[in-house]
């Protein structure tokens, strides 16, 4: 593709009807790309059946575009970006569901926490199937565990020590190292594990009725061991997406979201390809072949249009008359008297191939 054509496409790239955007933006901050984004999320949900464990976490897509929902997170390497809530399959790292964070949602019930609302919306297509969802301390709460348990879904995650559901007897800091304290209710089990003397980790689980410790020196409970195994789904997915990305600098936030959507779609396509064919292929090789196949239709159409052009030999210059070389593959402004037998452009001696007389571009 020529550079000027690529720049022209990027300049006029739109994902909606610009004439009606202002009306839709009054109720939807994501109106500039919501239609395409909704189709992508629907395909992600319907095309794959996730496993037993699903991880829910946030993803910050790096961007400094001007939009009302741009986030600043000091703990992230890129600081600024567009935040997405992601539900990811633990084993395959397939992106099951994803939601953009657009600020305060007027449709959210007044008494419901943002964290609970996000988890319930992400897990809505996968409830009543006996799955487990792993979350961090931003999402985990006892009320969320009770809601999920009524829908045949368990939760496992760390709990912030300032949560109301943490009993007062479990909040003291001076614990002996590698000690475990367990609190249980009818819906969930709370494990307080002292990894260090003054550092206690709280794990809330609705899938463990009995907490057991291993026989190692650290005497880790099985809730902590399982959480360490299942917590990394979204983080590994984000790392895989950034390894081979199409992201480029842009000042338009819909294009930045489109870049992230392409990266996610490419990762999901690789997972689906391996699941359907039963073959293991490196992701970089799959992406190269995918790019070639996506370009084949355009190249075939371009070739067909070229073949439909009238193949008539134009007149050659009269004796003694010369024209400037139209190929300029190896020359600058050489003169030519012979045309290429395929494209009929004037071709000098430097830009020709062997007999029959052809230009370098028609090789």
Whether 227 shows a pLDDT value over 90: the answer reads: yes
Range of weakest confidence among 47-51, 170-174, 317-321: 317-321
* Cis-peptide into 356, omega within 30 deg: yes
Whether 317 shows a pLDDT value over 60: the answer reads: no
Count helices and strands in the chain by DSSP H and E runs:
9, 13
Long-range contacts of 100-104 (CB under 8 A, 24+ apart): 100/30, 100/37, 100/69, 100/257, 101/58, 101/69, 101/71, 102/29, 102/30, 102/69, 103/29, 103/68, 103/69
Name the percent of the chain lying above pLDDT 70. Answer: 94
Q: Which residue has the higher pLDDT, 312 or 220?
A: 220
Range of weakest confidence among 67-71, 247-251, 273-277, 344-348: 344-348
Alpha carbon 209 to its chain's center:
36
**What pLDDT score does 241 carry?**
93
Which whole number is the average pLDDT over 243-270?
94
Give the whole-angstrom CA distance, residue 362 versus residue 352. Answer: 10
Max avg pLDDT among 31-45, 99-113, 191-205, 315-329: 31-45
pLDDT band at 2 (very low <50, low <70, confident <90, very high): confident
Whether 362 shows a pLDDT value over 70: the answer reads: no
Whether 301 shows a pLDDT value over 90: the answer reads: no
* Residue 237, Ramachandran bin (φ over 0: left; ψ between -120 and 50: alpha; else beta): alpha
Q: Give the DSSP H or E segment for 95.
A: strand 95-100
User: Which of 42, 92, 47, 60 is CA-nearest to residue 267?
Assistant: 92
pLDDT band at 355 (very low <50, low <70, confident <90, very high): low
Whether 245 shows a pLDDT value over 90: the answer reads: yes
In 10 A of CB 34, how many CB atoms?
Answer: 18
pLDDT digits (tens, 9 = 90+) for 129-163: 999 999 999 999 999 999 999 999 999 999 988 88
Whether 309 shows a pLDDT value over 70: the answer reads: no
**What pLDDT score does 335 carry?**
87
**What pLDDT score does 314 carry?**
53
**What pLDDT score does 357 carry?**
58
Whether 361 shows a pLDDT value over 90: the answer reads: no
Give the whole-angstrom CA distance, residue 67 versus residue 82. Answer: 9
Mean pLDDT estimate for the chain:
88
**What pLDDT score does 332 carry?**
83
pLDDT digits (tens, 9 = 90+) for 15-30: 999 889 889 988 889 9
Which residue blocks in the chain are alpha helix, DSSP H? 3-11, 21-24, 34-46, 114-123, 142-150, 222-230, 233-243, 253-277, 283-307
Give the whole-angstrom CA distance, residue 164 versus residue 141. Answer: 9
pLDDT digits (tens, 9 = 90+) for 179-207: 898 998 888 999 999 988 888 899 999 99
Secondary structure class of 18 (helix, strand, coil): helix
């Amino acid at each position: 593709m020529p550079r000027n054509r690529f720049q022209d496409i990027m300049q006029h790239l739109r994902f909606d009807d610009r004439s009606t955007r202002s009306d839709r933006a009054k109720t939807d901050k994501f109106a500039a790309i919501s239609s395409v984004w909704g189709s992508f999320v629907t395909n992600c949900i319907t095309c794959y059946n996730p496993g037993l464990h699903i991880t829910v976490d946030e993803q910050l897509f790096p961007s400094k575009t001007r939009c009302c929902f741009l986030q600043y997170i000091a703990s992230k390497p890129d600081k600024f970006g567009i935040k997405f809530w992601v539900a990811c399959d633990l084993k395959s790292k397939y992106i099951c569901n994803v939601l953009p964070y657009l600020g305060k949602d007027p449709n959210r019930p007044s008494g419901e926490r943002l964290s609970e609302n996000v988890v319930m919306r992400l897990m809505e297509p996968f409830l009543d199937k006996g799955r487990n969802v792993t979350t961090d301390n931003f999402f985990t709460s006892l009320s969320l565990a009770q809601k999920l348990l009524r829908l045949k879904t368990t939760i496992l995650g760390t709990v912030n020590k300032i949560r109301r559901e943490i009993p007062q007897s479990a909040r003291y800091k001076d614990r002996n190292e590698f000690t475990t304290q367990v609190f249980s209710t009818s819906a969930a089990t709370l494990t307080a594990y002292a990894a260090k003397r003054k550092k206690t980790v709280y794990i809330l689980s609705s899938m463990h009725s009995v907490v057991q410790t291993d026989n190692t020196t650290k005497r880790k409970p099985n809730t902590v061991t399982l959480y360490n195994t299942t917590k990394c789904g979204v983080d590994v997915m984000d790392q895989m997406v950034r390894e081979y990305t199409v992201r480029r600098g842009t000042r338009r936030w819909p294009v930045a979201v489109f870049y992230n959507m392409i990266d996610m779609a490419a990762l999901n396509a690789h997972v689906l390809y391996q699941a359907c064919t039963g073959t293991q292929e490196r992701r970089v090789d799959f992406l190269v072949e995918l790019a070639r196949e996506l370009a084949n239709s355009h190249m075939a159409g371009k070739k067909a249009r070229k073949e439909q052009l009238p193949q008539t030999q134009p007149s050659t210059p009269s004796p003694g008359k010369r024209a400037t070389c139209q190929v300029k593959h190896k020359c600058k402004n050489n003169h030519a008297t012979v045309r290429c037998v395929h494209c009929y452009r004037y071709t000098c001696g430097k830009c020709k191939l062997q007999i029959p007389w052809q230009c370098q571009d028609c090789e």
